Structure 1
Amino acid sequence: AHGRTRVLSARWVFDSRPPGSLPAARTTLLQHFHGWFVRTARPVFDTAAVELMDFRTPQPAHGLSFGYVLPTSPCEALVEYTEFSAHPLTPDGYEAAVSHYADDVLRLGERQVLARETGVITMTDAPVPRQTGASVFRIGAAGGATRPATGYTFAGLQRQTRAVADALRRGRYPAPPAAHPLRSRLMDAVLLRALDSGRVDGPELFSRLFARVPMARLLRFLDGDTRPHEDLSIGLRTPVGPMLRSALELPRLPRRPFDLPTAPATGHLPPTETA
């Protein structure tokens, strides 16, 4: 407080700050997003339904994009535009993308933007170290809790924190465990390569999975909670040829460093418009 410096001592340190750089990876994409918290003049949102991946957005030349809608009332919701690609957009580009989705796709009509949020999630097959000192650990997104192919972080973070709390309670070494199984991370590396190379069409792939795989099983798969035979059955519902080609070439691909973009952190910004 008040700009003063304080020195703290602790037996253990768990560091969730975003790293300044990433280890070298074979594939690195960014899941970057921009959203509006909107209030509409008429009730247009179904509070019993959430739109998670709406591919009625213009697709970029590299990667994929989608919109999603999280309603909090019939007249209020978070309306978001998301891309999986190598580079973030400009602020004007994000605004134009969300405006197109809200006005031309969802047709919200008269609406007020109450606040905005924006952010970037790194999706990489780089090995993320979870320990940086004898008593210093990385945790959360900084410690590999983000699922490389989906961006899922919260469930992985909860697994890490439960394990750390249990170790501390029992007086054991509280190193955070891997948030996602090795098998899941290997499958993610294949999917990232297939998307980055353009061998698979992202919207078509995800639409096929949601249409052909039972929802409960698919959600467990996205969270890394399926068994090998379930993973195989889901894999057979993807474009098998391009996915196999991507898997076979992975061991030969070099790992290269990736410069993190300077992008605004996730947060809420003041309202600026009514339309």
Structure 2
Amino acid sequence: DDFERLVSRDLARSPNVRRLEATVEAVEDVPGGALVHLRDTGGRARVLSARWVLDSRPLGSLPAARTTLLQHFHGWFVRTARPAFDPAVVELMDFRTPQPAHGLSFGYVLPTGPCEALVEYTEFSRRTLAPDRYEAAVRHYADEVLRLGERRILATETGVIPMTDAPIARQTGASVFRIGAAGGATRPATGYTFAGLQRQTRAVADALRHGRRPLPPAAHPARSRVMDAVLLRALDSGRADGPDLFARLFTRVPMARLLRFLDGDTRLYEDLSIGLRTPVKPMLRSALELPRLPRRPFDPPPPTPPSAAPHLPPTETA
């Protein structure tokens, strides 16, 4: 919210920016530019003509990939009756959650004050859950793991982030480009998108200032994408234990370096040092296997029904 307010304030002050809120129904590439077909807040159809279009709408379907997992989550913005959080501490991956038969799960806590926080349950797996299972998972984490006690739920958030090694096109027409998650800004092995999107927007702004085509660059180096493909394969195949792998990283890699790695901002020697902190044999086997794997379209299985939800013993915290 703070970031959105900051950007909105600066846009409102700029004489060169016109902000239009509407639902984009289609983007059409035409000679010399593009047409954006809109439906405004009053329900009226409109067409906007543009020289360039940067399209961040979610993809209708994912490209063919060797491995595709889903990072799906549900969170509560809570206010507790007593101080329950340390505003200076973020819990990125708390593995004291029941682990699914395939993939991994963890809790996430982002405090905004001693009594306020976003408390979230997240899974990396091939399929999403039934809605009531998300509520049950967050409630279990809040009550049985964090022991928050009396609290009030102020708001909720739910989402699904594809974690895929599929190549994602950043251009769909002569004047139409994809940006953000739709343009490959998401880090495949973590779901982190914000830093990659900032790199893309800086490059686009620089291109426009200098009169060049504003094609968003690849948000993450090829080296990072290869490492992510190996990690995704190791997790999806079950060769690597997800909680153990991430716990190793958080306990054996300096935190500043690890956070830069998660954002795709490390150098080659740092990537190699981080790779040596992972289970080497499962990762090496996955790396050797990747070139032989075919890329297949992603056909997501139906959500896990309530009766099939996992209930395994909790593991460790990173």
Task: Give the shorter-chain TM-score range.
Answer: over 0.9
Q: Which residue identity does 2:142 align to in structure 1?
A: A
Change (3 A) 1:169 1:262: farther
* 1:174 lines up with 2:214 in the alignment: yes
Quote how far apart the aligned CAs of 1:176 are: 0.5
CA contact (8 A) 1:20 1:260 kept: no
- 1:96 match: secondary structure: helix
The residue correspondences of 1:172-251 to structure 2 (distance < 5 A) are 172-251=212-291
Quote how far apart the aligned CAs of 1:244 are: 0.4
Larger deviation: 233-242 or 26-35? Answer: 233-242
Larger deviation: 57-66 or 229-238? Answer: 229-238
CA contact (8 A) 1:21 1:259 kept: no
Give CA-to-partner distance per residue, 1:162-192, whole Å, 9 cap, x none. 0000000111111100000000000000000
Larger deviation: 210-219 or 245-254? Answer: 210-219
* TM-score, structure 2 normalization: 0.81
CA contact (8 A) 2:126 2:301 kept: no
Q: What value does the CA root-mean-square deviation take over the aligned residues? A: 1.2
CA contact (8 A) 2:127 2:300 kept: no
Quote how far apart the aligned CAs of 1:262 are: 9.0
Question: How many residues were matched structurally?
Answer: 263
Task: Report the Cα distance in structure 2 between the residues aligned to 1:262 and 1:70, rounded to whole angstroms.
Answer: 30
CA contact (8 A) 1:34 1:81 kept: yes
Task: Report the Cα distance in structure 1 between the residues aligned to 2:160 and 2:181, rounded to whole angstroms.
Answer: 11
Q: Which residue pairs with 1:267 in the alignment?
A: none
Q: Which residue pairs with 1:151 in the alignment?
A: 191
The residue correspondences of 1:115-134 to structure 2 (distance < 5 A) are 115-134=155-174
* 1:51 lines up with 2:58 in the alignment: no
- 2:77 match: secondary structure: strand
Give CA-to-partner distance per residue, 1:180-239, whole Å, 9 cap, x none. 000000000000000000000011011111111111111111112212111111111111
- 1:6 match: secondary structure: strand
CA contact (8 A) 1:132 1:138 kept: yes
Structure 1, unaligned runs of 5 or more:
264-275
Identity fraction in percent: 86
Quote how far apart the aligned CAs of 1:80 are: 0.3
Q: Which residue identity does 1:163 align to in structure 2?
A: A
Q: Which residue identity does 1:25 align to in structure 2?
A: A
- 1:133 match: secondary structure: coil
Report which of the two structures shows the higher radius of gyration computed on alpha carbons: 2
Quote how far apart the aligned CAs of 1:107 are: 0.2
CA contact (8 A) 2:201 2:216 kept: yes
* 1:139 lines up with 2:170 in the alignment: no
CA contact (8 A) 1:22 1:260 kept: no
The residue correspondences of 1:54-93 to structure 2 (distance < 5 A) are 54-93=94-133
Larger deviation: 184-193 or 71-80? Answer: 71-80
Q: Which residue identity does 1:180 align to in structure 2?
A: H
- 2:274 match: secondary structure: helix
* 1:100 lines up with 2:140 in the alignment: yes
Quote how far apart the aligned CAs of 1:72 are: 1.2
- 1:49 match: secondary structure: coil
* TM-score, structure 1 normalization: 0.94
Task: Report the Cα distance in structure 2 between the residues aligned to 1:135 and 1:262, rounded to whole angstroms.
Answer: 37
Moved over 2 A (4+): 259-263
Give CA-to-partner distance per residue, 1:226-264, whole Å, 9 cap, x none. 12111111111111111000000001001110135799x
Give CA-to-partner distance per residue, 1:65-114, whole Å, 9 cap, x none. 00011111111111000000000111100000000000000000011111
CA contact (8 A) 2:78 2:119 kept: yes
More relative contact order, 1 or 2 (CA 8 Å, 6+ apart): 1
Structure 2, unaligned runs of 5 or more:
1-40, 304-318
CA contact (8 A) 2:128 2:302 kept: no
- 2:58 match: secondary structure: coil
- 1:131 match: secondary structure: coil
Q: Which residue pairs with 1:270 in the alignment?
A: none
Q: Which residue identity does 2:224 align to in structure 1?
A: S
Task: Report the Cα distance in structure 2 between the residues aligned to 1:71 and 1:222, rounded to whole angstroms.
Answer: 20
